[in-house]
Amino acid sequence: MMIHTNNYILNIKELWDDVPEEYLSHKERYENAIKKAFIVLKVLRQLHTGNIQITDHRTPTNVYSIQDGIFRNVNPLLIHIGLFWSTIAAQASTEQQAEWLQPDSSMIGTYVQTELGHGSFIRGIETTATYDSTTDEFILHTPRLSAYKWWPGGLGNTANACLVMAQLYINGTCHGLHIFLAQIRDFDTHKPLPGIKVGEIGPKMGFNTADNGFLGFDNHRIPRTNMLMKNVQVLRDGTYVKPKHDKLTYGSMLLTRVTLISDLAYQLSKAATIAVRYSAVRRQSPIKSNEPERQILDFVSQQHKLFITIASSHVYRVVGLWMWNSHKRVTADIHEGNMGQLPELHALACCLKAISSRDASALVEQCRLACGGHGYMMASNLPQIYAYTTAAVTYEGEYTVLLLQTARYLVKFWRLAAEHKPLPQNFAYFEDYIKKNFEQWRNSPEGIIEGFKAIVAGKTKAAYDTLQCNLRNGREFEEAWNMASVQLTNASEAYARSLLCEVFWKETVQLSTKVSKSLAIVLEQLAELYLMYWALEKHGDLLLYSTISRNDIEALQSRYEELLALIRPNAVGLVDAFDIRDEVLCSTLGAYDGRVYERMMEEASKSPLNEDVVNESFHKYIRPVTMKNKL
């Protein structure tokens, strides 16, 4: 039977809510989500074992692309599928993968790294894994409250196993962070095993079906062979066999940061679809007093708020794929023992995950604000998309922490440039900046890309010079670094923006040669709009570090406004092209049929507060006050 996954899933009625989850309790929301999660997992397993033949072979992405509609919030198995499986596949030995990655495995896992006391500084993680050679086991232990694992998705009630990041001790020597597989609940009864204290952390701003939990180990024993041993081994006699690179253990964070860029593109496409479609339906205020009220999409200020969101979704789709391919290439090199490209991949993943999540969070909020009061309704789905998206600024590497990682990379190459040592081609512009080989400003995409490189060079130089000045003033390096950290993060942000503009423009120009002329025009307008938008946002930096003039900036503003007008006729077509089904969009404002007010009223009627003409609280609380002594 050849079917399309989407249609197969869409026909499973129990997956599609009758009662909006906003009217469920914290517990009901979880139970409702788990019911759906295991229906989806069963479908994935049937697809994996070929029990369901499908026409669409992008299954995981396909199922993923509609799971938003199923869960409205988050699939409680997201970490099981998105991190637990992927970490085992990337860091477990062949034998371990054969044992643990069975399609019908009883394990439902999560990725357990963050502790109450440590999230960013993972070398400070306190959970220990001590090798006991007498029993050929590791003893997992949580020495104090701050060492309790806190946050992992699915940990509260769902997971019966987990990958634990812990400090490895052998014969009193600490070998640093390693990953261990630990069963935490009985597969049959689901009761926590002896020595395991586990629970759910309570309501959050979003992710309220993610079942985030806490976990403490009380001298919990696991077999030695439960340490993930693809890159590193502990032998039966306690011999420690070092990995080829001590950050391979951090590989899951690197992969998730790369994956997140594409996920954020998808979140932006949803928010843009909702806000642009609503702006085409909503009429508010005439432009000329003697004319009818206009579509708010005709207001240039509204176009300024929304078209950057359409463009940014494409930027992160393109850059997300570029980073995915880079990750595949570097991973293949690492498999061959070549670690040379890992530092660059880490630096790019850090700044691009940081900036993409910050952009996406701000732009989803901008879409909500652009929809006025109706955007503030849960039924618009914009609040949920915001709550989901803004979490990405924090998890998988907090924004500032990751930008500082990229700053280490930039400072390293600036030092080479300052010492007139050879530079890789992608940093040749550092040398140009030092030699003041500045190109005359051009008000073109290529000119803007060069301008953003000048900003990177200028900001990196400024941060580096401050660092050197702090050191000359007798500060220790770490203190000098901390004192320069604002400038360091600014340099990393500029580097990310420079990459985004360059990669997106180049990919768009290439793509334009493969599509129809009319489509190529629209794609290049979107790409040019992105570059113009950010050149105007960063015009101060361009004035500081490039050869742009005030007249050039005024010309950029004019061209930007031209582009808004050019894109306006295609705006609805551009978001329709994201092709997000109404069942996935879950939005009264963004539905394809544009029946906004009817859908808003339909959703309002589902409120339990509309079940009774007079709510019982009138008789209990209101009437005794308002009608006292009046009868």
Ligand X SMILES: Cc1cc2nc3c(=O)[nH]c(=O)nc-3n(C[C@H](O)[C@H](O)[C@H](O)COP(=O)(O)OP(=O)(O)OC[C@H]3O[C@@H](n4cnc5c(N)ncnc54)[C@H](O)[C@@H]3O)c2cc1C
DSSP state of 622: I
Closest CA to 580 of 588, 591, 570: 591
From ligand X, ligand LCIBMYWK, none, interface partner of 75 (C-beta below 5 to 8 A by class): ligand LCIBMYWK
Q: Rounded to an integer, what distance in angstroms lies between the CA atom of residue 379 and that of residue 377?
A: 5
Terminal CA-to-CA distance of the chain, rounded, Å?
Answer: 73
- Of the two residues 264 and 531, which places its CB atom closer to ligand LCIBMYWK in the complex? 264
Phi, psi for residue 139 in degrees, rounded to 5: -105, 110
H-assigned helices in 371-444: 382-391, 399-418, 428-434
DSSP state of 80: I
Closest CA to 180 of 167, 194, 191, 195: 167
Site for ligand LCIBMYWK in 408-427 (CB under 6 A): 408
Binds ligand X (CB under 6 A): choice among 274, 311, 323, 391? 391
Give the SS3 label for residue 586.
coil
Taking CB under 6 A as the rule, does residue 277 contact ligand LCIBMYWK?
no
Taking CB under 6 A as the rule, does residue 195 contact ligand LCIBMYWK?
no
| Share of the chain residues as helix, strand and coil, in percent rounded to the nearest 5 | 60, 10, 30
Q: Rounded to an integer, what distance in angstroms lies between the CA atom of residue 428 and that of residue 425?
A: 5
Strand pairing report for 111-112 and 240-241: unpaired
- Of the two residues 250 and 533, which places its CB atom closer to ligand LCIBMYWK in the complex? 250
- Of the two residues 105 and 225, which places its CB atom closer to ligand LCIBMYWK in the complex? 105
Binds ligand LCIBMYWK (CB under 6 A): choice among 31, 55, 60, 597? 60
Q: Which residue has the tokens 């909500």?
A: 368
Binds ligand LCIBMYWK (CB under 6 A): choice among 115, 263, 365, 450? 263
Q: How far is the CB of 459 from ligand LCIBMYWK (least distance, A)?
A: 18
From ligand X, ligand LCIBMYWK, none, interface partner of 224 (C-beta below 5 to 8 A by class): none
- Of the two residues 204 and 619, which places its CB atom closer to ligand X in the complex? 204
Closest CA to 64 of 81, 39, 45: 81
Taking CB under 6 A as the rule, does residue 64 contact ligand LCIBMYWK?
yes
Q: Rounded to an integer, what distance in angstroms lies between the CA atom of residue 271 and that of residue 380?
A: 10
Q: How far is the CB of 470 from ligand X (least distance, A)?
A: 16
- Of the two residues 378 and 483, which places its CB atom closer to ligand X in the complex? 483
Taking CB under 6 A as the rule, does residue 354 contact ligand LCIBMYWK?
no
Phi, psi for residue 174 in degrees, rounded to 5: -90, 125
Taking CB under 6 A as the rule, does residue 111 contact ligand X?
yes
Is 478 part of the annotated catalytic residue set? no
- Of the two residues 297 and 351, which places its CB atom closer to ligand LCIBMYWK in the complex? 351
Taking CB under 6 A as the rule, does residue 611 contact ligand LCIBMYWK?
no
The CA-based dihedral angle spanning residues 408, 414, 420, 423, taken in that order and rounded to the nearest 10 degrees = 70
Taking CB under 6 A as the rule, does residue 567 contact ligand LCIBMYWK?
no
Site for ligand X in 211-230 (CB under 6 A): 212
Binds ligand LCIBMYWK (CB under 6 A): choice among 23, 395, 485, 562? 395
Residue pair 548/526 in contact (Cβ under 8 Å)? The answer is no
Taking CB under 6 A as the rule, does residue 155 contact ligand LCIBMYWK?
no
Taking CB under 6 A as the rule, does residue 346 contact ligand LCIBMYWK?
yes
Binds ligand X (CB under 6 A): choice among 181, 261, 382, 404? 404
Element (H, E) at 34: helix 26-48
Instruction: Tell me the site size for ligand X, rule CB under 6 A.
Output: 21
DSSP state of 609: G
Residue nearest ligand LCIBMYWK, CB atom distance: 250
Q: How many residues does the chain have?
A: 631
Binds ligand LCIBMYWK (CB under 6 A): choice among 63, 125, 265, 387? 63
Site for ligand X in 114-173 (CB under 6 A): 114, 119-121, 151-153
The piece of 28-36, 128-136, 254-262, 307-315 that touches ligand LCIBMYWK (CB under 6 A) is: 254-262
Kindly report the CA angle at 128 between 123 and 132, in degrees rounded to 5?
135
Q: Rounded to an integer, what distance in angstroms lies between the CA atom of residue 386 and that of residue 555?
A: 34
Taking CB under 6 A as the rule, does residue 75 contact ligand LCIBMYWK?
yes
The piece of 171-179, 292-300, 393-401, 546-554 that touches ligand X (CB under 6 A) is: 393-401
Q: If you compute the radius of gyration of the chain from its CA atoms, what whole number of angstroms results? A: 27
CA atoms within a 13 Å half-sphere pointing along the CA-CB vector of 215: 40
Q: Rounded to an integer, what distance in angstroms lies between the CA atom of residue 331 and that of residue 336?
A: 9
From ligand X, ligand LCIBMYWK, none, interface partner of 400 (C-beta below 5 to 8 A by class): ligand X
Q: How far is the CB of 329 from ligand LCIBMYWK (least distance, A)?
A: 15
Phi, psi for residue 50 in degrees, rounded to 5: 80, 10
Question: Would you give the binding string for ligand X spanning residues 341-380, x where CB under 6 A is met?
Answer: ----------------------------------------
Taking CB under 6 A as the rule, does residue 606 contact ligand LCIBMYWK?
no
Closest CA to 533 of 359, 275, 375, 319: 359
Q: Rounded to an integer, what distance in angstroms lies between the CA atom of residue 425 and that of residue 609?
A: 64
- Of the two residues 243 and 343, which places its CB atom closer to ligand LCIBMYWK in the complex? 343
Strand pairing report for 149-150 and 161-170: unpaired
Burial 277-286 (b: 16+ CB within 10 A, else e): bbbbbbeeee
Q: Which of 115, 126, 365, 396 is catalytic?
A: 396
127-to-168, 397, 398 alpha-carbon distances in Å: 9, 19, 21
Q: Binding residues for ligand X, per CB under 6 A?
A: 79, 111-114, 119-121, 151-153, 207, 212, 391, 394-396, 398, 400-401, 404
Catalytic residues: 396
Q: Binding residues for ligand LCIBMYWK, per CB under 6 A?
A: 40, 60, 63-64, 67, 75, 78-79, 81-82, 111, 113-114, 120-123, 153, 247, 250, 253-254, 256, 259-260, 263, 342-343, 346, 395-397, 401, 405, 408
